[in-house]
Amino acid sequence: MDKELIVRHMRAATPIGPFREVGEEQYAHTPFSEIYLVPQMRAVYTFMIDEFVPPMLRNYEFLSQKNWKNEITLRSNPYTLVHNCEGKTMFEHVSKSPSSFRRCNDAMMASDSALVTMGLYPFTEELGPLASDETVTLVDVGGGRGHVIRQIKESEPDLKGRFILQDQATVIKDNGDEIQTHGIEAMGHDFFQPQPIKGALAYYIRRCLHDWPDSECQKILSNLAAAMDKEKSRVLITEYIVPEAGGSMFEAWMDQTMMTLGGLERTEKDWAHLLDISGLELVKVWRAPGVLVGVVEARLK
């Protein structure tokens, strides 16, 4: 890259960050730029810029073509317009390229790690009295590379039973051997198919359902409901819970992002309705002050 171009770009990247100017044509990192030296955080940034920002900028164009009717679907939306992939979901589109698919998984893992999710649900207190060494205590549905189920297992050392990570076979192949060294079973599974693990104490699904409209979420949750034990099982859903009024800019921005893909962020009323049509009922929402995500707990009706 030519020096002149670097200097001109750094003039724009130093007044308010993320870099700082230390002399004439001399620049240094700040904590806000150093974070992107971490490959997973760099994946978040580039994935957002390449995949999500262009569709958000063309929301107006897509909706104008639809005469401002709510006809956004999984396979016809601002994302498919921009990326010329009508008829495919975002996940189907990025999975065509191994590097894009890897970047997607890295970005999902990093954004998950940046959220406060641990400590919202008291796993040992709620599941411990029902668990034994043979019990399937926790199934992490769509759990990616297993970073969260590993955190749960390590932070709840007194919680007995089997811990199972589920995700697409391609994701499990990437990381399954490593996660099993932590005492966690790895299983390739498509959550649109019947759930093979029956009667687990908890089916944990985290930041997956906002990717999908109600019709698809109903399929996912109905598969879990069919596998549940009436007395012991529960579904735990960790997601942003949009306030009915007075929401933050971040929640609104996340919902706009999901709109480009055919998904959405949901209010507590939305979650209650979705669970109801899936054969479940909302029994409690676990929250913490100042934390945007919550854990929606559901049982069989």
Ordered by where they begin, the domains of the chain are: 3-34 (no CATH), 38-113 (no CATH), 123-300 (3.40.50.150)
Is the pLDDT confidence value at 111 over 80?
Answer: no
* Band (156; pLDDT cuts 50, 70, 90): very high
Beta strand residue intervals within 64-189, DSSP E: 136-141, 162-167, 185-188
Which listed residue (93, 147, 189, 210) is catalytic? 210
210 is catalytic: yes
Per-residue CA distances from 234 to 99, 123, 231 (Å)? 36, 12, 9
Residue 96: CB atoms within 10 Å: 10
Question: Residues of the chain with pLDDT > 70: what percent?
Answer: 97
* Band (105; pLDDT cuts 50, 70, 90): confident
Q: Which helix (H) or strand (E) holds 68?
A: none
pLDDT at 25: 95
Is the pLDDT confidence value at 227 over 60?
Answer: yes
Once rounded to an integer, what is the mean pLDDT over residues 216-241? 97
Higher pLDDT, 290 or 146: 146
Is the pLDDT confidence value at 184 over 80?
Answer: yes
Once rounded to an integer, what is the mean pLDDT over residues 107-124? 75
pTM of the entire predicted model: 0.86
Tell me how far apart the alpha carbons of residues 208 and 205 are, in angstroms, rounded to a whole number.
7
pLDDT at 116: 55
Is the pLDDT confidence value at 178 over 90?
Answer: no
Once rounded to an integer, what is the mean pLDDT over residues 54-75? 94
